[in-house]
């Protein structure tokens, strides 16, 4: 086929044309899984990718139930429950599944993980370019005082393209020169919500601000990086995005020795050196390999893979306590969903079902399971780094003819 005429649509003829054009190169297999759902998920749909999924567990955790309080959108914990969960991991990294399972085992020996959702927010970072800094400051002050009016405006719009599920919670401004950056902060229910809040933010920008502002901005820009849309930022490392989740567990010294084959002392030293290494290298996160865990769960459960980087922002700690070693992780920006987007597709929905996280009312549960699974891998991967330290070990192996 002449590439210049590459068909873009998802009608049957176009799909077939694309498949015919590439079948000789890619073979039948990736073109064989027809499902009407695929064509609703993307334009120019042509085939599928398959990634192997391991199932590891049990992940033992005590997790919270939460509800949003109106109108501020703060979270209230309504209960806590103990559970054992099996976790699906889509990845091709040898050792990852076994390592996470080891971490789960070590945690379970100490009573399991305890997880908490501290906050829920989804944010669009718009920007109004004004004539002067003075105008930008006036606009900012007006915006910060208009939260009720902005909510009323949205409530009054009878526009089916807008989302009623996306609720405006806060307006935060930041003025630099003639720019008035605005963070529109929403909750989006069990959906991840980028599209719904984008449409609503656009309505606010064009339908309210550009019409009613006390100074007329020269430009309205829908997204201008004051937040962290698929790019890690300090703004969201600190103030959070999606679900801000914390997980912790206290590891008993005997478990550290027997299951993790290292010691509390070793892990404390590793944490110390790793934290200072992160500082020295200008690494925002302080952690070991949270992205490996998060990517594997995201890949299995239909999450947005483009949000793996931001969702993997992590701040881990380790502290010697009376009963052993308290370890924790804070994931400030876990952008997850249990409804909408990729979660509605085959495979993804199945794996969410395995977690008991498919559909409405499940997103805080899901976020906490992801955090606990991430901490499980952190524990085990750290232990592997910490114990890779014995020169006797190396010499013994080397003299036997090779590292194995």
Residue 294 binds to a copy of itself (criterion: CB under 8 A): yes
Own/partner long-range contacts of 107-110 (Cβ < 8 Å, ≥24 apart): 107/60, 107/249, 107/251, 107/372, 107/375, 107/376, 107/379, 108/58, 108/60, 109/251, 109/252, 109/255, 109/259, 110/249, 110/250, 110/251, 110/252, 110/255, 110/323, 110/324
| Geometric angle at alpha carbon 224, from 220 and 227, rounded to 5° | 130
Which of 12, 152, 360, 388 lies at the binding interface for a copy of itself (CB under 8 A)? 388
Which of 11, 52, 71, 164 lies at the binding interface for a copy of itself (CB under 8 A)? 52
Using CB under 8 A as the binding rule, the residues of this chain from 244 to 273 that contact a copy of itself are 246-248, 250, 266, 269-270, 272-273
How near is the Cβ of 149 to a copy of itself at its closest, in Å?
A: 17
Residue 284 binds to a copy of itself (criterion: CB under 8 A): yes
Own/partner long-range contacts of 303-309 (Cβ < 8 Å, ≥24 apart): 303/192, 303/335, 303/336, 303/337, 303/341, 303/342, 303/343, 304/192, 304/194, 304/335, 304/341, 304/342, 306/230, 307/192, 307/230, 307/242, 307/335, 309/230, 309/231, 309/232
| Residue nearer to a copy of itself on the CB measure, 131 or 257 | 131
The residue with tokens 């052993």 is 324
The site string for a copy of itself over 180-209 (x = CB under 8 A, - otherwise) reads: -x-------------x---x--xx-xxx--
CA 237/CA 332 separation, integer angstroms = 6
The residue with tokens 């902060």 is 185
Residue 33 binds to a copy of itself (criterion: CB under 8 A): yes
Any catalytic annotation for residue 304?
A: yes
Residue 159 binds to a copy of itself (criterion: CB under 8 A): yes
Contact 88, 98 (CB under 8 A): no
| Residue nearer to a copy of itself on the CB measure, 57 or 189 | 57
Which of 232, 242, 324, 333 lies at the binding interface for a copy of itself (CB under 8 A)? 232
Which of 149, 283, 360, 361 lies at the binding interface for a copy of itself (CB under 8 A)? 283
Please tell me which residue in 67, 84, 93, 159 is annotated as part of the active site: 93
Using CB under 8 A, which of the segments 90-98, 146-154, 255-263, 362-370 binds a copy of itself? Answer: 90-98
In this structure, what token pair is assigned to residue 367? 């976020």
Residue 16 binds to a copy of itself (criterion: CB under 8 A): no
Which of 66, 347, 364, 366 lies at the binding interface for a copy of itself (CB under 8 A)? 347
Which of 142, 147, 174, 215 lies at the binding interface for a copy of itself (CB under 8 A)? 174
How near is the Cβ of 383 to a copy of itself at its closest, in Å?
A: 11
Q: Which residues are marked as active site? A: 93, 230, 304, 397
């Amino acid at each position: 086929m002449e590439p210049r005429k590459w068909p873009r649509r998802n009608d049957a003829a176009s799909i077939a044309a694309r498949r015919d054009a590439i079948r000789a190169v890619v073979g039948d297999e990736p073109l064989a899984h027809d499902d009407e759902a695929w064509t609703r998920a993307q334009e120019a749909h042509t085939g599928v990718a398959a990634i192997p999924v391991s199932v590891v567990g049990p992940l033992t955790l005590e997790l919270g139930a939460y509800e949003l309080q109106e109108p501020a959108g703060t979270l209230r914990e309504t209960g806590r429950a103990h559970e054992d969960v099996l976790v699906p991991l889509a990845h091709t990294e040898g050792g990852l599944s076994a390592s996470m399972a080891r971490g789960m085992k070590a945690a379970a020996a100490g009573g399991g993980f305890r997880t908490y959702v501290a906050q829920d927010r989804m944010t669009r970072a718009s920007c109004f370019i004004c004539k002067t800094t003075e105008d930008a400051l006036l606009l900012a002050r007006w915006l910060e005082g208009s939260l009720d009016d902005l909510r009323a405006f949205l409530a009054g719009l009878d526009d089916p393209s807008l989302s009623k599920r996306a609720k405006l919670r806060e307006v935060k401004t930041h003025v630099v020169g003639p720019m008035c950056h605005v963070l529109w902060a929403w909750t989006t229910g069990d959906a991840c919500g980028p599209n719904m809040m984008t449409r609503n933010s656009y309505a606010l920008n064009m339908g309210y601000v550009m019409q009613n502002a006390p100074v007329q901005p020269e430009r309205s820009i829908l997204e201008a990086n004051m937040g962290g849309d698929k790019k890690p930022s300090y703004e969201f490392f600190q103030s959070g995005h999606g679900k801000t989740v914390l997980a912790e567990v206290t590891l008993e010294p005997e478990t550290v020795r027997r299951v993790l084959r290292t010691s509390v002392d070793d892990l404390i030293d590793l944490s110390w050196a790793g934290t200072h290494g992160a500082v020295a290298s200008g690494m925002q996160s302080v952690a070991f390999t949270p992205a490996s865990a998060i990517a594997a769960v995201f890949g299995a459960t239909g999450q947005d893979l483009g949000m793996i980087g931001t969702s993997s922002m992590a701040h881990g700690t380790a502290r010697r306590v009376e009963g052993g070693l308290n370890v924790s992780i804070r994931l400030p920006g876990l952008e997850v969903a249990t409804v909408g987007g990729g979660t509605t597709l085959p495979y993804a929905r199945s794996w969410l079902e395995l977690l008991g996280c498919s559909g409405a009312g499940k997103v805080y549960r899901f976020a906490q399971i992801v955090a606990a699974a991430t901490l499980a891998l952190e524990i085990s991967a750290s232990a592997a780094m910490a114990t890779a330290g014995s020169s006797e070990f190396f010499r013994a192996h080397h003299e036997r003819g090779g590292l194995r």
